[in-house]
Amino acid sequence: MNVAAPQSPFLRWVYGGYMFAFFIYLAAPLTAAGVFAFNDSLFPSLPWNGFTLDWFFNDTEPKLGMFYDRRLLRGLEVSLYVGLIVSALSVAAGTCNAFLFERKEFPFKAALHVLMIVPLVIPGVILGISILVFASIVANGVEETMSWDWDMLRPGLFLVILGQFSFLTTITSLVIAARLRKFDIALEEAALNLGATRVRVLATVTLPYLAPAMFSAFVVAFLVSFENFNTTLMLVGSDAPLTITMYDRMVKVGSTPVLNAVSVFLMLGSGLLALLSVVVQRERKQP
């Protein structure tokens, strides 16, 4: 008998019903976004006119599929590009931070650790505008003193990358540090005693041990970067990532089933990536 569960059958039934309702609530909007990608209609709404894949693969207006829609494809490309760069950078910085906070002693360590977490609790919009403002202060300063136009610091992909990097690094640092904390330092000592150099120990013992955590940090960073909207919106220039392109389309054209198709694509994509990361995690549990 589970002491935590309600004792009367009626209450147990009510509780079960609540859980069921909750999962319906979770699934409803995602299902709605997904299902209408396959409806043979110009609007993502009832009635159901039959199954079609046109919103993915059709190459003519008015039912231009997402894989023939230049702007959406361009957005996808930009998102992939930004996501890969940002994840690589934030995993690299996160690994350094993990070593810094797990292995080193230095003054104000506790305060700096709090500072490391802070980016997670700053609203994304504020991160965006603050980086926008700071970059343009720097750019104006450079322009005035050296009369050198630093285009990079104007809204555009470089700033988008910096903006996403600023909070993703916190996430990767925490993930990698958690793994490093569990590392048995005796393994390193053994390798050192056997005559390995520090660099060699790092490359052959410590980093391979961290690899699964680095991989999941990469996946998480990539997914979050791909989905990010708030920070990106403030920093974006003419080249827009997919979420921004999609939002533009939604506001200017209104909802069309091609957006449902993109939603399906995104759900499948992130589902697969999340699954991959779970599989990698599971493998590392088996000795």
Partner 1 sequence: MFRSDASKLSLILLMTPFVLWIGLLIVLPQLGIGYISLREKVGPREYELGLANYIDFINEPIYWNTLLRTAWMSILVTALALLVGFPVAYYIAKIAQQRSRAALFLLCLIPLWVSDLVRAFGWIVLLRETGVVSGMLQTAGLISGPVELLYNDVTVVIGLVYTVVLFMIVPLFSTLDGMDNSLLEAGYNLGGSRVTVFRRIVVPYAMPGIVAGCIITFMLTAGSYLTPILLGGKNSSWFTEQIYDQFITRYNWESGATFGVLLLGFTSFVVWLGLRLTGQSLANTVAKE
Residues 37-96 that bind partner 1 (CB under 8 A): 43-47, 92-93, 96
Taking CB under 8 A as the rule, which mask of x and - marks residues 204-233 in contact with partner 1?
A: -------------------x--xx-xx--x
Question: Which residue of 24, 42, 112, 152 would you call a contact of partner 1, by CB under 8 A?
Answer: 112
Question: Which residue of 24, 115, 152, 190 would you call a contact of partner 1, by CB under 8 A?
Answer: 115
2 near partner 1 (CB under 8 A): yes
Choice between 58 and 136, CB closer to partner 1: 136
Q: How many residues in total does the chain contain?
A: 287
Choice between 46 and 60, CB closer to partner 1: 46
- Cβ atoms 241, 251 nearer than 8 A: no
CA distance 113 to 207: 22
Q: Count of residues binding partner 1 (CB under 8 A)?
A: 83
- The nearest distance, CB 220 to partner 1, in angstroms, is 10
Site for partner 1 in 151-190 (CB under 8 A): 162, 165-166, 169, 174
- Compute CA 189 distance to the chain's CA centroid, rounded to the nearest angstrom: 36
Choice between 96 and 211, CB closer to partner 1: 96
- The nearest distance, CB 137 to partner 1, in angstroms, is 6
CA distance 162 to 234: 12
Count CB neighbours of 29 within 10 A.
10
Structure tokens at 23: 């999962």
**H or E segment at 83?**
helix 70-103
- Cβ atoms 34, 263 nearer than 8 A: yes
**Three-state SS at 148:** coil
- The nearest distance, CB 47 to partner 1, in angstroms, is 8
